[in-house]
Structure 1
């Protein structure tokens, strides 16, 4: 087989094409390298870039090296490298994209058991392809085995359909949330080049449209457009966790709202300030015996202002963990004992193995448990029972806080952990408690989930990874 005879873009443009893909997905990764969505978008993008990179190596760089330094490169070695990179593109790019889709749809939070198996299972077909069609011979099968090419095409199309369903389903489910617009832009960033690749690289070859075999190179202007699209949105207000004012936030988890705490506080404080001004004016104009009543209103308002601003600032600031190995039973008992004093009408039962240990931040975990206990008590209106249970699981540790209240309406479950979202109307809650709990668990590498009990009440489940 001869090399260096491919028609299409010149080698320099293929190199530029590769570099542009790398630039785009490095921007995505650097936007928030701690975010799993960004990481898997980067991994998937790098796998897809192998399609262009192998063309540059095989048809441009390797022939030049063979001519200049014959001992450094052979035709057989160049074919092996081309085959392996083709295998990366054909077998691993779409599974990586599908894992990105799992995180995009929040499967790791909504269905953690399914997620743990799915993120591994999607790569099994890639390994089976390597068994039946060795990676070093991918180029041969690509050119001469139509059955192989049909199997590879169906495999990639199936994953493409699953990814599309995940992304579009998530957009529909979260169409009224604050992150909808951001997620819609991310879906465009991902789906457009992927489907162009799936059609141009597989459908055209299966239909034997030889004049269009290099149509996949049309992804070059698409990638260029997406880089401009990314930069525009990053400069405009932030995209996938990056703003070009050296700010970083959790783009897929409503982090943008917390960065706008000042605007929320301004609106919230305005109502209280109006009352203070009104009372102050009346004190000036009132008789002495009425002044005490107005002063009480002012005192209550100023106290309320301090509480609200303190909570908002505490729960919206960045979380820094100081982890250590803790005996979990004494910590749970201490939280339960404190809550019993605050709510004598609520029975709190703790179930936990005496020797159970957990690698975590004591202060933040205590605050999370206090939040959940307070919420449970309020849901039961100060009367009922709460069960706090800690137990090891196959892959870590789990703490469940269950109450016997009225439960949470189904339409509220999806929004519970969003900032400033609250179902309480007594004016003492600003909707950052559960958002804070979720962020603490994510910092630990775990998760928090709410579910309805079979009989009555709600259970909040804290899942910590094994160390």
Structure 2
């Protein structure tokens, strides 16, 4: 049992690390998992590995002593290091503190664990003072929990807020139970209660898997979906280039022979054959146009970046769509809360917004409201396109980014609009997310990284003085 739990924690720590090892809070999340596994490692050594070695007479000189040192050392590391690792994960999980403050807190809060190292006999028998340990362990836990909850309350971005909500549930609640069983119960001289942590870890692992599939945990679901879409787009692009070349050649032949047939029919005065030739020529033209459109939306996007006023561009898109909106009895509202400069490809951004707005108009055949909003957040410049239309059901929502998937009925729609928008946002190091409720409406959010935003001098002064 303990060996299984140990392997689960190690697998979870490894998975978390490879989500994005460049991010400090991800590294601390992984460290928290591995440090927290120390108690289970000690038990596996003493109750599984050593008995196995004794039974099969595999104990070499010095091996037993080495394994006991590893056991007591890992147990000490777990009980003393886990609170510190959890606190560091919380400190680095957001921008609640400045970089210098984070460094200061990292050094300051390391003092109690170092003190425990100085006053605690570790080998041959680990002798921890649990009253002294509890004096700083529980404040660390509650401080870390307060930081995580504060970051959740302050989070404005919907997808990050949801991610923080489930991350807090999956981390704070299990750790509270573990801390009670590991520290509080030992103060009461119950030294075996910690074994119930194996059940806590097992339940936590199951819930992490379930939540990761549906909502995402520390970004796992998003990265898996993004990689799947990226590989799909690459495969589709490669295949379409070959198909496009072949179809264009054959359509060119159709057009050439249609021209000859039409010319022959005109000379020989055969009006019915002329009509057939014109239909054939029109069909070949439509095939060529269709393939050009498909190729244009799947080919690799090359950005021509410049600093622009995104608010002006958004207003231009809204003005351009006004006649279509009026025809659909749709009111367009634009709310631009910030006036920064954005480093982007204006043509691509215009195409993204036009695509999204046209989708919104088509979703409101009986009228409604199309809202365009721009907001400057702490880490992103957020542009949202919202409608009060038919919405998208859950089954279709998971496929909206798939190339050639479409809920629209029409021969001129190839289901490539959102795939193109997604790719264009990836090129801008940003992301595109969709939130939709059936029969209530849809909101598409475009997140541009903060490094692409340049504030005017007066805004910069406000930011510095804030």
Is structure 2 residue 192 aligned with structure 1 residue 146? yes
Partners in 2 of 1:368 and 1:35 — Cα distance?
A: 30
Per the alignment, do residues 333 and 271 of structure 1 end up closer, same or farther by CA in structure 2, a change over 3 Å counting? same
Is structure 2 residue 383 aligned with structure 1 residue 399? yes
Aligned counterpart for 1:160 among listed residues 200, 205, 209: 205
Alpha-carbon distance, 1:67 to partner: 7.2
Aligned counterpart for 1:256 among listed residues 229, 232, 245: 232
The count of corresponding residues between Structure 1 and Structure 2 is 344
Partners in 1 of 2:344 and 2:168 — Cα distance?
A: 27
- Residue equivalent to 1:246: none
- Residue equivalent to 1:84: 77
TM-score of the two chains, using structure 1 as the length reference: 0.52
Is structure 2 residue 395 aligned with structure 1 residue 349? no
- Residue equivalent to 2:166: 118
Structure 1 segment 29-428 matched on structure 2, within 5 A: 29=18, 43=30, 47=34, 79-81=72-74, 83-84=76-77, 112-125=160-173, 128=176, 145-150=191-196, 152-166=197-211, 250-253=226-229, 255-256=231-232, 258-263=234-239, 281=257, 284-285=260-261, 286-288=264-266, 293=275, 296-297=278-279, 300-318=282-300, 326-340=308-322, 345=327, 348-353=332-337, 355-356=339-340, 362-380=346-364, 386-392=370-376, 396-403=380-387, 405-409=389-393, 411-428=395-412
Structure 1 spans left out of the alignment, 5+ residues: 1-7, 9-17, 97-108, 171-185, 188-239, 242-248
Deviations 1:310-359 (A, max 9, x none): 44344334556677765331121122233347777365432213525556
Alpha-carbon distance, 1:414 to partner: 2.8
Alpha-carbon distance, 1:159 to partner: 0.9
- Residue equivalent to 2:413: 429
Per the alignment, do residues 46 and 252 of structure 1 end up closer, same or farther by CA in structure 2, a change over 3 Å counting? farther
SS of the aligned residue for 2:355 comes to helix
Partners in 2 of 1:35 and 1:261 — Cα distance?
A: 30
Per the alignment, do residues 338 and 306 of structure 1 end up closer, same or farther by CA in structure 2, a change over 3 Å counting? farther
- Residue equivalent to 1:212: none
Partners in 2 of 1:148 and 1:458 — Cα distance?
A: 48
Partners in 1 of 2:210 and 2:292 — Cα distance?
A: 42
Whether the aligned pair in 1 keeps the contact of 2:403 and 2:419 (CA below 8 Å) is yes
Partners in 2 of 1:463 and 1:445 — Cα distance?
A: 5
SS of the aligned residue for 1:426 comes to coil
Alpha-carbon distance, 1:451 to partner: 1.8
Whether the aligned pair in 2 keeps the contact of 1:403 and 1:459 (CA below 8 Å) is yes
Return 115-124 or 161-170, whichever deviates more. Answer: 161-170
Whether the aligned pair in 2 keeps the contact of 1:279 and 1:294 (CA below 8 Å) is no
Partners in 2 of 1:49 and 1:308 — Cα distance?
A: 57
Max Rg structure: 2
Whether the aligned pair in 1 keeps the contact of 2:383 and 2:446 (CA below 8 Å) is yes
Per the alignment, do residues 310 and 43 of structure 1 end up closer, same or farther by CA in structure 2, a change over 3 Å counting? farther
Deviations 1:19-38 (A, max 9, x none): xx99xx69x95xx97999xx
- Residue equivalent to 2:144: none
Whether the aligned pair in 1 keeps the contact of 2:178 and 2:194 (CA below 8 Å) is no
Partners in 2 of 1:282 and 1:252 — Cα distance?
A: 43
Alpha-carbon distance, 1:448 to partner: 1.6
Deviations 1:101-137 (A, max 9, x none): xxxxxxxx996532122224433357657865789x9
Partners in 2 of 1:407 and 1:458 — Cα distance?
A: 5
Whether the aligned pair in 2 keeps the contact of 1:321 and 1:361 (CA below 8 Å) is yes
Alpha-carbon distance, 1:421 to partner: 0.3
Per the alignment, do residues 282 and 317 of structure 1 end up closer, same or farther by CA in structure 2, a change over 3 Å counting? closer
